[in-house]
Amino acid sequence: MFGPRNTGKSTLLEKIFNPVESTWFDLQMRLKQYPNDLFHMTIPESKSYVVIDEIQKIPELLDVVHCLMKNKILVLSGSSARKLKIHGVNLLFIIYFH
């Protein structure tokens, strides 16, 4: 889900995918340096949903997200789809909401 800043994307996701049933990630420097850590952090989890807010901060995670799609339901949000396009990342599975 992409849209302008401060429009309620994160609030909506918190209501739909509560933290008890979902794994939430605040994008940290660790994931920026080692994007593959996301894979190892989510696979052992018993939760079905993985929510990543502000995905445009670490575009390299989209390659890992692509691998995770086989085992988890992923929900991504961000405020800058343009930033992802500039990095030339795999956008095949991203759905845009306007």
Residues facing 49 on adjacent strands: 22, 73
**Model confidence pLDDT, tens digit, residues 18-74:** 878 888 876 766 788 888 888 888 877 777 788 888 888 888 888 888 888 877 888
**Burial group, residue 59, by CB count within 10 angstroms (0-12, 13-18, 19+):** buried
Q: Domains of the chain: which residue ranges?
A: 9-87
pLDDT for 94 beyond 80: no
Q: How far apart are CA 10 and CA 76, in angstroms?
A: 10
